[in-house]
Amino acid sequence: MAKFEEKTCKLVRLVFGIVMSVYTVVLAALILCRILDIYFSGVSAGNIKPYTYEAVMGRVHAELAAPFWIWIVLIFAGLILWEVFKIPEKRRGISDARYILQRLQKRIPAEVGGDLTDSLNAVRREQKILKILHICLYALTGLFLVYVIAYMCIPSNFTSVEAVTDDIKRLCLFILPVAAVIYAAWLAYVIYYGYSAKRLLPEVKKLTKGIKEPQTATGKFAAFVQSRNFILAVRIALACFAVIFIIIGCCNGSVLEVLNKAIRICTECIGLG
C-alpha cells in the first residue's frame, strides 16, 4: 500500500470531514423540514394525528431514501479513507499518575530494608484499601442488578397495559435513586484513586528506583494476535461482514420491514402525532 505524506493525509481527512459534516447537517435539516411539513399540513387539514404510516412513508421515505443511502455510503468511504490516508502516530509522554503507578507497581520488590520499609508498608496498606473498595463497589453493583431483575420478575409490579405509564414511573422511582447512589460511589472511588495515586507515586518511585520492569515471554501466536496487520485484518473482515449483511437485508426487504415497524411503533404504540 502506497504511503502518503502526513500533510496530504491531514488535508484529505480535513476535506472529507468538512464534506461529511455539511452533508449530515443538510440531511438532518431536510428530515426536520419534512417532519414539520407533515405536521403542519396534517393540522391544517384538521387531522388530529398527522403522523400516519402513509404520510411518513410517502413524504419522508420516498423523498429522502436516496440522500440517506448516500450518507451511509459516505460513512463507509470515510472508514476506507481513514485506513488509506493514515497519519503516523506520535508517542506522547503520559502524565497520568494512575497509569504511571500501575506500571511501576509491577517492579515493587517483595522485601526491602532500611528506610524503604515504611514506604513499602504504606504502599501495601493503600493497595489493600483500594482492593477492598473495589470489591465492595462490585458487590454493590451486583446487588443492584439482582434488585432490578427481581423487581422486573414480580408480576404485581406491572398491573395492566392501560397503566403502563404509571408502572414505568414507579419503576423509575424505585431504580433511579439506587442507580444514582451507585454512580456517585463509583465516581468517588475514581476521585479517591486519583488522589491516592498522586500521593503514593513518590513512594513507589523510591521503591522501584533502578529496578527494570520484568519481561514477560510472548509466544508466536500472542505476538501474531497483537500485531497491527492482524488487527487491521479483523477490522476489514468485520466491515465486510457488516456490508454483506446490509446488502442481504436490502435485497430481501428486511430494511423496509424494519422501517415499517419503526413507523408503526412511533405512530401507533407510543402515540407520536
Q: What share of the chain is helix, strand, coil (3-state, %, to 5)?
A: 80, 0, 20
Residues 119, 25: one domain? Answer: no
Angle between helices 228-251 and 62-84 (to 10 degrees): 170
Is residue 76 a part of any domain in this protein? yes
Residue range of the domain that includes 190: 97-215
Q: Count of CB atoms within 10 A of residue 207's CB?
A: 20
Name the average pLDDT for the chain: 79
**CA distances (Å), origin 141, targets 66, 183, 242:** 46, 9, 34
Of 237, 246, 260, 257, which Cα lies nearest the Cα of 69? 246
Q: Are residue 259 and residue 173 in the same domain, yes or no? A: no
- Please state, as a whole number, how many other Cβ atoms lie within 10 Å of the Cβ of residue 188: 12
Q: How far apart are CA 4 and CA 86, in angstroms?
A: 8
pLDDT of the residue at 273: 46
Identify the pLDDT of residue 123: 82
Residues 115 and 185 placed together within one structural domain of the fold? yes
Is it the case that residue 271 has pLDDT exceeding 60?
A: no
> pTM score > 0.75 for this model?
no
Task: Please tell me whether residues 43 and 114 are part of one structural domain.
Answer: no
Q: Does residue 253 register a pLDDT over 80?
A: no
Range 176-203 average pLDDT: 88
Report pLDDT for 162.
63
Per-residue confidence (pLDDT) for residue 105, from 0 to 100: 74
Do 204 and 111 fall within a single domain?
A: yes
The lowest-confidence range among 23-27, 53-57, 117-121 is 53-57
50 and 128 belong to one structural domain: no
Residues composing the chain: 273
Round to the nearest angstrom and report the end-to-end CA distance of the chain: 53
Residue 62 vs residue 211, higher pLDDT: 62
Q: Which set of grid coordinates corresponds to residue 16? A: 472529507
Give the span between the Cα atoms of 200 and 66, in whole angstroms: 59
Burial class (CB in 10 A: 0-12, 13-18, 19+), 50: buried
**Could you tell me which residues come within 8 angstroms of residue 75 by beta carbon, excluding any fewer than 6 positions away?**
20
Query: Reduced to 3 states, what is the DSSP secondary structure of residue 222?
Result: helix
Domain termination site, one of 173, 190, 215: 215
CB under 8 Å to 109, separation ≥6 — which residues?
207, 211
Number of domains in the chain: 2
| Co-location of 110 and 152 in the same domain | yes
Assigned domain for 1 exists: no
Task: Please give the average per-residue pLDDT across 84-111, as a whole number.
Answer: 71
What local confidence, expressed as pLDDT, does residue 1 receive? 46
Give the mean pLDDT of 144-164.
78
Q: How many CB atoms lie within 10 A of CB 119?
A: 18
Is the pLDDT confidence value at 196 over 90? Answer: no
Domain stops at, among 215, 231, 256? 215
Do 14 and 87 touch, CB atoms closer than 8 A? no
**pLDDT score at 39:** 74
Long-range CB pairs of 115-121, under 8 A, 24+ apart, other chains included: 116/206, 116/207, 119/203, 119/204, 119/206, 119/207, 120/207
Nearest alpha carbon to residue 98 among 230, 189, 20: 189
Amino acid at 257: E
Q: How confident is the model at residue 90 (pLDDT cuts 50, 70, 90)?
A: low
